[in-house]
């Protein structure tokens, strides 16, 4: 593995070619009204302070209930400043129709997204100003929605464009604010344009994407970003003029294992031995692992986990993205979709890992340990091995263990591609970014190939 990782050099640098003078930067790069409101005012702007009116779109080729060609129908599009302005049942219907039943994604549900807003995690004061797009028919039925945020920074996205912002500044433009379609703080793949299943769904998709780019132009932001979309969306958005970017995560795949030992038998002998040794360390430290789901998770467990989570963020970033209240609120809304792994010493929690259960996937999200404590191999046990055991027990196909971490490979998690799409309004800067993305994609493809060839399993796993 060390030999393979020696090839994992940093992505090729972003080489900037100045295209004209600063005065030549188009309006999307110059200081705009929205920029001034973000940076030059003590008061954060409200959606109502912007012109966010969006044009209507006509549907073509729509048939009525009898199958006859009906009169032309019109989609109206609007922006809401909070997901609470949309009924949970209507939002969730769009999210569910956008995925196959086995691909149910809890992060796209109204409960998760509303918890982020209601507990002050993804709000304008934290640089995440909700600008969700809603498409309705003439009877005011919701046909589609898209989670969208006006952002004053690039934190909490896991698709890193900080160097783009620096380059854009040297190019003579203002990169922030920008528009971002994503699930805040969550590097999980899933549809971003959530459409009801009806005969005109492809036209609704096109209308929402057009509305998003129209909105970005109205706000005179530098760019519009759609991160961790599905592969199908990624390809469609290329046709809409978006630049394509690929990234990499590490996922575990369930090959119909009946138990953890069956999984181990697929591993190379050295990897199997290492995992067994790491798991033995948990027992030798008198730690007890527990998996709690839904109502089994009490308020005291969330309070302990928040302290663990905050210890992790204090050591890494300094400021936690999520509030204590978020965990309580999210858990109350998602119920049995929440799985909390706890490590206990003398019946007292000392560490924990948060997971959400999807249709066929276990999503590993956050981890933390008691301050000033160190338990060898506990991170691997709580985050990776407990997740694998849970996935086997729940008959789930995949464990997504979050962003980054080559150490996951020798524990059975292999690299997979992730996607993002970027619409940059300045043509000269877009050309620079496109050239960079080609070089970056070639390197990501190469690294994934090398890591698979030297994987931890007895035979190459595709």
CATH of the domain at 265: 3.40.630.30
Mean pLDDT value across the chain: 89
Query: Do 136 and 20 sit in the same domain of this protein?
Result: yes
Query: Do 259 and 245 sit in the same domain of this protein?
Result: no
The pLDDT of residue 59: 85
Q: Tokens 């090729």 map to which residue?
A: 12
Q: Annotate 146-169 with DSSP letters as a single string.
A: E--EEESS-TT-SS--HHHHHHHH
Query: Do 213 and 289 sit in the same domain of this protein?
Result: no
Q: Which residue range(s) make up the domain with 439?
A: 2-250+417-453
Kindly indicate the confidence band of residue 8, based on its pLDDT and cuts at 50, 70 and 90. very low
* Contact criterion met (CB below 8 Å) for 55 and 214: yes
Which range is least confidently modeled, 46-50, 273-277, 314-318, 329-333?
Answer: 46-50
Asked if the model's pLDDT at residue 22 lies above 60, the reply is no
Instruction: Answer whether residue 458 is part of any domain.
Output: no
Contacts of range 116-122, beta carbons closer than 8 Å, 24 or more positions apart: 116/184, 116/185, 116/326, 117/82, 117/83, 117/84, 118/84, 118/329, 119/322, 119/323, 119/325, 119/326, 119/329, 120/323, 120/325, 121/184, 121/185, 121/321, 121/322, 121/323, 121/326, 122/149, 122/184, 122/185
Asked if the model's pLDDT at residue 27 lies above 70, the reply is no
Instruction: Answer whether residue 344 is part of any domain.
Output: yes
Compare 23 and 414 and report the one with higher pLDDT.
414
Query: Do 343 and 446 sit in the same domain of this protein?
Result: no
The 10s digit of each residue's pLDDT in 144-174 is 999 999 999 999 999 999 999 999 999 889 9
Q: Report the percentage of the chain scoring pLDDT > 90.
A: 79
Domain count, the chain: 2
Asked if the model's pLDDT at residue 129 lies above 60, the reply is yes
The pLDDT of residue 69: 58
Instruction: Answer whether residue 461 is part of any domain.
Output: no
Query: Do 74 and 20 sit in the same domain of this protein?
Result: yes
Asked if the model's pLDDT at residue 339 lies above 80, the reply is yes
Kindly indicate the confidence band of residue 73, based on its pLDDT and cuts at 50, 70 and 90. confident
Query: Do 181 and 285 sit in the same domain of this protein?
Result: no
The pLDDT of residue 9: 38
Residue 401 CA to residue 387 CA, distance in Å, equals 9
Kindly indicate the confidence band of residue 412, based on its pLDDT and cuts at 50, 70 and 90. very high
Query: Do 265 and 390 sit in the same domain of this protein?
Result: yes
Among 3-7, 22-26, 217-221, top mean pLDDT goes to 217-221
* Contact criterion met (CB below 8 Å) for 266 and 458: yes
* Contact criterion met (CB below 8 Å) for 233 and 212: no
Residue 176 CA to residue 34 CA, distance in Å, equals 10
Query: Do 439 and 366 sit in the same domain of this protein?
Result: no
The pLDDT of residue 48: 59
Query: Do 305 and 447 sit in the same domain of this protein?
Result: no
Instruction: Answer whether residue 206 is part of any domain.
Output: yes
Asked if the model's pLDDT at residue 275 lies above 70, the reply is yes
pTM attached to this predicted model: 0.89
Query: Do 318 and 228 sit in the same domain of this protein?
Result: no
Instruction: Answer whether residue 459 is part of any domain.
Output: no
The pLDDT of residue 101: 78
The pLDDT of residue 5: 36
Query: Do 12 and 153 sit in the same domain of this protein?
Result: yes
Residue 176 CA to residue 35 CA, distance in Å, equals 7
Query: Do 276 and 210 sit in the same domain of this protein?
Result: no
Instruction: Answer whether residue 408 is part of any domain.
Output: no
Instruction: Answer whether residue 28 is part of any domain.
Output: yes
Kindly indicate the confidence band of residue 242, based on its pLDDT and cuts at 50, 70 and 90. very high
Stretch 239-257: mean pLDDT, rounded?
A: 97
Asked if the model's pLDDT at residue 460 lies above 70, the reply is no
């Amino acid at each position: 593995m060390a030999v393979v990782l020696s090839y994992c050099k940093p992505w090729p640098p972003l080489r900037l070619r100045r295209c004209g003078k600063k005065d030549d930067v188009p309006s999307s790069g110059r200081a705009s009204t929205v920029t001034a409101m973000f940076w030059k005012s003590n008061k954060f702007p409200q959606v109502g302070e912007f012109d966010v009116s969006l044009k209507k779109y006509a549907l073509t080729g729509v048939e009525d209930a009898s199958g006859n060609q009906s009169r032309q129908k019109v989609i109206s599009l609007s922006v809401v400043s909070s997901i609470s302005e949309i009924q949970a049942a209507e939002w969730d219907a769009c999210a569910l129709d956008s995925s196959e039943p086995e691909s149910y994604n809890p992060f796209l549900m109204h409960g998760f997204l509303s918890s982020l807003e209601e507990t002050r995690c993804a709000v304008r004061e934290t640089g995440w100003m909700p600008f969700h797009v809603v498409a309705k028919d003439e009877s005011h039925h919701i046909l589609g929605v898209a989670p969208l945020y006006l952002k004053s920074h690039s934190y909490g996205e896991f698709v890193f464009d900080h160097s783009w912002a620096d380059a854009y500044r040297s190019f003579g433009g203002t990169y922030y604010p920008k528009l971002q379609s994503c699930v805040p703080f969550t590097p999980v793949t899933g549809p971003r344009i959530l459409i009801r299943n009806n005969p005109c769904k492809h036209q609704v998709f096109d209308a929402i994407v057009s509305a998003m780019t129209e909105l970005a132009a109205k706000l005179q932001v530098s760019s519009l970003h759609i991160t961790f979309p599905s592969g199908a969306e990624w390809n469609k958005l290329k046709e809409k003029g978006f630049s394509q970017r690929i990234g990499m995560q590490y996922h575990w795949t369930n090959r119909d294992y009946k138990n953890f030992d069956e999984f181990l038998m697929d591993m190379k002998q050295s990897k199997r031995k290492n995992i067994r040794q790491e798991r033995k360390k948990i027992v030798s430290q008198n730690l007890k692992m527990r998996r709690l789901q839904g109502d089994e998770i009490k308020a005291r467990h969330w309070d302990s986990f928040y302290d663990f989570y905050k210890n992790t963020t204090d050591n890494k970033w300094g400021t936690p993205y999520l509030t204590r209240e978020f965990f309580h609120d999210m858990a109350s809304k998602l119920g049995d979709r929440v799985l909390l792994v706890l490590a206990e010493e003398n019946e007292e929690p000392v560490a924990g890992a948060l997971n959400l259960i999807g249709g066929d996937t276990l999503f590993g999200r956050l981890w933390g340990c008691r301050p000033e404590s160190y338990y060898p191999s506990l991170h691997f046990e709580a985050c990776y091995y407990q997740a694998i055991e849970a996935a086997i027990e729940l008959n789930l196909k995949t464990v997504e263990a979050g962003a980054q971490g080559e150490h996951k490979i020798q524990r059975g998690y292999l690299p997979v591609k992730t996607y993002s799409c970027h619409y940059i309004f300045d043509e000269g800067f877009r050309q620079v970014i496109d050239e960079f993305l080609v070089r970056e994609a070639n390197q990501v493809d190469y690294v994934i190939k090398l890591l698979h060839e030297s994987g931890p399993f007895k035979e190459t796993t595709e």
